[in-house]
A and B are shown apart, each in its own frame.
Chain A
Amino acid sequence: MSDALSVQEGQPTARRPKRWHILVFLLPAFLVYSAVMILPLIETLRLSLFNTVDGQSTFVGLANFQTLFGEERWAHDFWNALKNNVIFFIIHMCVQNPIGVALAAMLSIPKLRFVTFYRTAIFLPTLLSFVIVGFIWKLILSPIWGVAPGMLDLVGLKSLFAPWLGKPGSALVTVSLISVWQYVGIPMMLIYAALLNIPDEVIEAAECDGVTGWSQFWKIKLPLILPAIGIISILTFVGNFNAFDLVYTVQGALAGPDGSTDILGTLLYRTFFGFQLQLGDRSMGATIATVMFLIILAGVSLYLFVIQRRMRRYQF
């Protein structure tokens, strides 16, 4: 760690008496976290290697994974869900995060008026639950109510309207954009805080050198907020690959139409707890959970060990 030197100063000798305060500081978080999160997760990973044979839980090695990737019915659902999930993530990265950065950059312009109002208003959807967001957009996009076609009619684009949520070709994009609409506040807030934390001296120095406006943003501010953008990207990745609620609320557990909005979260739900005629399958559920775990693990490792290491940390 870069700050190892400065920390050493606070510790005169290695033979100091036991520093119990470190234990006291760490213990509560460690206990709750281990008991409620880590142990159950390990148990779930363990379950993916077991299946019920003759009514008894038996160790089957990787047979569950072979079924998931190889058996036609499972493989079709799984690859479909994975593909949709990747698209879901790409839409978030390409729409949500640039909008978030742009909004934060505009909000952080000095002496801009009404900043509090804009910030408050734009962050509001983020606080709403999936239940509310899902139902509101379902109503708005519903051809029965006619709000969306009515509004398109105002700008003369009524012919563009289609029941987007009901068509296999557009349902996934529509659900993704609803999710973007809801969550754009998070990148906005994080970047906004990062921009405010840039010291005035840096900005003043840039202005003295004649770097202002756009080039100031690209050359001075953007490099300084890169760590925040990195955090946002990884938060988006993790959030997207365990998303479930919005698809469930808007399209139901079957993630219709025709599985076109099925993502890993909804597949896990149907497999784990069963739905309609399909019975819940604990072992296959644990198997899908394990695959999700591995995907997320891969993404986060990439971030932690490659991207974050390369990123310079600016200390003021």
Chain B
Amino acid sequence: MSKARDSFLRTGFVHVALIAYTLVSLFPVFLTIINSFKDRNAIFRAPLTIPTPQTFSLIGYETVLGQGDFATYFQNSFIVTIVSIALVLLFGAMAAFALSEYRFRGNTVMGLYLAIGIMIPIRLGTVAILQGMVAANLVNTLTALILVYTAQGLPLAIFILSEFMRTVSDDLKNAGRIDGLSEYSIFFRLVLPLVRPAMATVAVFTMIPIWNDLWFPLILAPAEATKTVTLGSQIFIGQFVTNWNAVLAALSLAILPVLVLYVIFSRQLIRGITAGAVK
């Protein structure tokens, strides 16, 4: 009896704690979105209430959509993020496999060399990167951003993926070899499916800094045609600092694609964790 009650109390306590933290996480976002639909007076007089028919207003969104070219910004961010993640996952998994699977001369040195990038922020090399991009005529192209983000994401991807690949059973791979599979098929058909949860994790960690980066778009691709949504909204909000309707609407618009991306990716992450938990 008392044990069951204890466990009930404990579950209750856990829910209370989790709900409390969930509120802390969501409240600022929620607050921004509800206020973006109100007129200026209501934003200041009653910031905590949801918009009513009297206070409802789209003036902020009208300002934003009339001024900034957000469709292009979104498109640029999507292209850069998706291509970079694909390259990081493919190249990173290949390198991680080579490092964790084979013993060859220079393995440790190569592993350390590739791990250097985890600790060194690529930002510290910005001036030389800019010089290189100027020389290669890649300034103000999305290619420049994709190259930088791929290089930035690779070290951590290789680090995490090789940790996971060490846990893939050798018997499985050797069974594949006995069945005559090439090393490439072993990698693509046996190992990759098994490390899917790790790939999902890497994808998340790669995606966040790329989508949110302000620095490299500002330096390498500040042109109107190649602006990413982060840079676009930073500049836009900077211009409209005192127009609270426009600022709140711009923030809400910037949150929107992240929410959509998150719904897509979180389903995949959950599938990865549940299906891939190889026991």
Contact = CB atoms under 8 A, between A and B. Distances in A.
**Does B bind A?**
yes
Nearest to B166: A3
A249 B205 contact: no
Main secondary structure of the interface of A (DSSP, over half): helix
A186 B127 CA distance: 30
A33 interface: yes
Contact of A285 (B114, B127, B266): B127
B254 A131 contact: yes
B66 interface: no
Interface size class of B (residues with CB under 8 A): 35 or more
B57 interface: no
Interface stretch (A79-87, A90-98, A296-304): A296-304
Interface stretch (A68-76, A139-147, A167-175, A254-262): A139-147
Contacts of B184: 21, 24
Contact of B214 (A123, A130, A300): A130
A121 B26 contact: yes
B204 interface: yes
Interface string B130-170: 01100000000000000110111011001000000011001
Interface string A187-210: 001100100110110000000000
Contacts of B233: 129, 131-132
A232 to B, nearest CB: 12
B102 A41 contact: no
Interface residues of A, number: 95
A13 interface: no
B86 interface: no
B262 A120 contact: yes
Given A26-B99, A120-B262, A282-B127, 18 more contacts: A10-B170, A19-B102, A26-B95, A28-B91, A29-B94, A40-B131, A107-B18, A122-B22, A124-B26, A124-B262, A127-B262, A129-B211, A129-B214, A131-B254, A137-B28, A238-B119, A286-B127, A292-B121
15 contacts: A6-B170, A9-B174, A11-B103, A21-B183, A25-B94, A26-B98, A29-B95, A40-B132, A44-B124, A44-B125, A120-B266, A127-B262, A131-B230, A238-B118, A315-B167
